[in-house]
């Protein structure tokens, strides 16, 4: 039977799998970029360093995001949902999304399709920011109710 515990375990496993993929991409980025440019249009030749700088600079907020997401899931697993630490994790996750959006947007002059990743990352950051605000209000209500008892 599927339950919340199994769902959290699956989510944590997925975060770890994405972390492993991030490490794999970071280690093999030169090879990936060369293969991509081999199959792409000729006007991208000579832009390997631009692609590599986008990948490596984007890996930093991605790694922080995955760490915060794992810690958030860990808190939820221990039934610590409405705590200020989770609000901080959500805040960091949203800022990581916005940082990724900025990096991708800055990369559009050499490769325009980065704009689609930038828009998706910014939209995800906005969604997480709204959820963060909801959780922050819940934490505040919880703290107030604990003081009145």
Tens digit of pLDDT at every position of the chain (149 positions): 889 899 999 999 999 999 999 999 999 999 999 999 888 876 788 899 999 999 999 999 999 999 999 999 999 999 999 999 999 999 999 999 999 999 999 999 999 999 999 999 999 999 999 999 999 999 999 998 887 75
Helices assigned H by DSSP within the chain:
4-39, 48-77, 84-106, 114-148
Supply the pLDDT for residue 38.
86
Supply the pLDDT for residue 2.
84
- Give the torsion sign (CA, 36, 22, 98, 52): negative
Tokens 């609000």 sit on residue: 87
CA distances from 74 to 78, 112, 116, 140 (A): 6, 38, 31, 21
Supply the pLDDT for residue 149.
58
User: 123: closest CA among 143, 107, 104, 148?
Assistant: 104
Supply the pLDDT for residue 64.
98
Supply the pLDDT for residue 147.
79
Asked if 73 contacts 46 with a C-beta cutoff of 8 angstroms, the reply is no
Query: Where exactly are the structural domains of the chain?
Result: 4-148
Supply the pLDDT for residue 45.
80
**How many of the other CB atoms lie within 10 Å of CB of 58?**
24
Supply the pLDDT for residue 109.
95
């Amino acid at each position: 039977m599927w339950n919340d515990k199994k769902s959290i375990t699956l989510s944590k496993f997925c975060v770890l799998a994405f972390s492993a993929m991030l490490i794999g991409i970071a280690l093999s980025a030169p090879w990936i970029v060369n293969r991509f440019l081999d199959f792409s249009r000729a006007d991208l030749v000579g832009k390997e360093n631009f692609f590599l700088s986008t990948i490596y600079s984007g890996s930093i907020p991605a790694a922080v995001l995955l760490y915060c997401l794992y810690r958030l899931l860990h808190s939820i697993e221990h039934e610590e949902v409405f705590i200020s630490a989770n609000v901080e994790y959500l805040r960091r996750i949203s800022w990581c999304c916005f940082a990724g959006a900025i990096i991708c947007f800055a990369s559009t002059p050499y490769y325009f399709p980065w704009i689609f990743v930038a828009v998706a990352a910014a939209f995800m950051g906005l969604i997480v920011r709204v959820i963060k605000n909801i959780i922050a209000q819940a934490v505040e209500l919880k703290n107030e109710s604990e003081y009145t008892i």
